[in-house]
């Protein structure tokens, strides 16, 4: 009955914004205590039918008290069909196969074999339409790991490990330290970053990094985890000493633009790259704090996302006009050379890019995972040595306005099938098996009460972090991994 208590928690979370709006600490405490009580109730062995009857009754009570929730099911994906008119006329031919439907309009509740099919017609019908019993027992995802588990079974979660609420505005990004199970960092539009320890319990905030004058849009750990690089709307990049919790260098954008994203050069952490609202990609030397000679490039819009391939020789930049540019970079000098451009969807910002050289341990399939404000997450195949892309498939993710990010799961399988995760504007965390052609969604997590902006696994996938627009960070426990915590 784990799924039923998760649905009950998600139902309460939808109304959480209305509880004591002047006391955000109480709302966090309420959800945390509610999660604890529901988990304890799930272990009591009560009649499952009684639990299901509780959901519509609870929905009626909450609706009577607060009215219909602002987010409700407005964020659900009612149609999995994308016309070329809706994604822009200048979309490249490689994007022509973006159709995600069979031509018919289906509601998600009728597309999942594991959904709860309720005949509830009250004011909360749209809320229940968005609640699914996941993962489904009938999921036919490829067997991903030893032990004969499907991907949906492998990515089942036991509940919340901890909820962090130290930030007062949206948490723009969340990332675990490299090859580290225990530490996670967050950046926020309140102008600060935080470093937290999640293992061993109790989870705690180790330190707050304050110094930016405006919201922090992105950050990244150095390879050795001793430095954090952050970029802000105040037009500065800052390098932070993790151990001391202090800023060691501040670098202003040469053109005075807002800095929106950043990335360390994976094979030379003495260089990093920033993307600005002035359409510029800039390579900067950490030691000098100066831009390197030949290390700048121009794109058609504000640079919203950056990523390197694992070799460090190719850099991709996504802009707010819907284009992805590829650059080759000289690892020794930092010189950039623009090589390719592909338009995902004209006028729809690219908000996230992730690269992966191997989808599984059996086959090399270099791929790029992209989020764009077209209600879809796109998987591209990297087809040339200079970063050329070809659309492979798309996945339905609710996204029209928010800066949503996605990622590949860090562990690879010896068998066919692999998993990617994405946030969503409908307040859910989605898991997709990229090896499946039909019904690729193998799980989703319910619990946030605002759009989920970023997601990240720790190195052994025992914990997953997700953050939202209300400043909440949830650490989720993976089923079967609790003994390691």
369-416 confidence digits (pLDDT tens)? 999 999 999 999 999 999 999 999 999 999 999 999 999 988 765 445
pLDDT score, position 133: 32
Q: Is this structure's pTM higher than 0.75?
A: no
pLDDT score, position 14: 65
In 3D space, the residue among 75, 49, 72, 46 whose CA is nearest the CA of residue 59 turns out to be 72
Where the chain has pLDDT below 70, the residues are 1-7, 10-11, 14-29, 32, 36, 39-40, 42-49, 51-52, 66-153, 359-363, 412-417, 480-485
In 3D space, the residue among 186, 170, 165 whose CA is nearest the CA of residue 24 turns out to be 165
pLDDT score, position 370: 97
Rounded Cα distance between 386 and 402, Å, is 30
pLDDT score, position 140: 39
pLDDT score, position 313: 94
At 166-203, the pLDDT tens digits run 999 999 999 999 999 999 999 999 999 999 999 988 89
**Beta-strand pair 143-145/291-298:** unpaired
pLDDT score, position 114: 31
In 3D space, the residue among 340, 325, 327, 275 whose CA is nearest the CA of residue 303 turns out to be 275
């Amino acid at each position: 009955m784990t799924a039923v208590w998760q649905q009950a928690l998600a139902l309460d979370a939808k109304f959480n914004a209305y509880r004591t709006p002047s006391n955000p600490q109480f709302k966090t405490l309420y959800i945390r205590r509610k999660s604890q009580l529901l988990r304890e109730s799930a272990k009591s062995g009560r009649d499952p039918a009684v639990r299901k009857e509780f959901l519509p009754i609870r929905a009626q009570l909450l609706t009577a008290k607060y009215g219909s929730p602002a987010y409700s099911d407005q964020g659900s994906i009612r149609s999995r069909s994308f016309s070329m008119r809706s994604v822009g006329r200048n979309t490249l031919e490689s994007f022509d196969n973006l159709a995600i439907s069979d031509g018919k309009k289906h509601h998600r509740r009728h597309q999942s074999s594991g959904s709860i099919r309720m005949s509830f017609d009250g004011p909360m019908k749209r809320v229940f339409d968005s609640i699914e019993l996941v993962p489904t027992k009938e999921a036919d995802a490829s067997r991903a790991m030893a032990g004969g588990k499907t991907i949906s079974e492998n990515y089942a979660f036991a509940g919340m490990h901890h909820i962090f609420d130290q930030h007062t505005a949206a948490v723009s990004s969340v990332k675990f330290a490299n090859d580290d199970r225990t530490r996670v960092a967050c950046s926020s539009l309140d102008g600060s970053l935080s470093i937290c320890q999640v293992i061993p319990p109790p989870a705690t905030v180790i330190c707050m990094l304050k110094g930016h004058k405006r919201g922090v849009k992105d950050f990244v750990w150095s390879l050795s985890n001793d430095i954090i690089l952050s970029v802000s709307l105040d037009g500065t990049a800052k390098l932070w000493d993790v151990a001391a919790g202090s800023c060691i260098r501040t670098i202003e954008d040469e053109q005075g633009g807002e800095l929106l994203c950043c990335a360390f050069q994976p094979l030379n952490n003495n260089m990093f790259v920033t993307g600005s609202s002035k359409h510029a990609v800039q390579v900067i030397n950490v030691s000098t704090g100066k831009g390197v000679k030949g290390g700048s490039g121009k794109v058609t819009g504000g640079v919203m996302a950056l990523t390197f391939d694992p070799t460090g020789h190719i850099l991709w930049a996504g802009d707010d006009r819907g284009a992805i540019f590829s650059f080759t970079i000289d690892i020794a000098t930092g010189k950039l050379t623009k090589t390719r451009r592909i338009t995902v969807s004209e006028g729809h910002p690219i908000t996230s890019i992730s690269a992966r050289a191997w989808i599984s341990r059996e086959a090399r399939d270099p791929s790029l995972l992209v989020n764009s404000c077209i209600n879809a997450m796109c998987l591209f195949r990297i087809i040339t040595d200079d970063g050329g892309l070809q659309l492979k498939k798309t996945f339905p993710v609710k996204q029209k306005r928010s800066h949503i990010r996605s990622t590949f799961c860090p562990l690879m399988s010896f068998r066919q099938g692999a998993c990617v995760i994405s946030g969503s504007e409908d307040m859910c965390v989605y898991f997709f098996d990229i090896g499946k052609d039909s019904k690729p969604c193998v799980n989703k997590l319910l619990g946030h009460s605002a759009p989920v902006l970023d997601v990240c696994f720790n190195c052994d996938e025992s914990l997953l972090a997700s953050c939202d627009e209300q400043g909440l960070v949830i650490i989720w426990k993976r089923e079967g991994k609790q003994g390691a915590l």
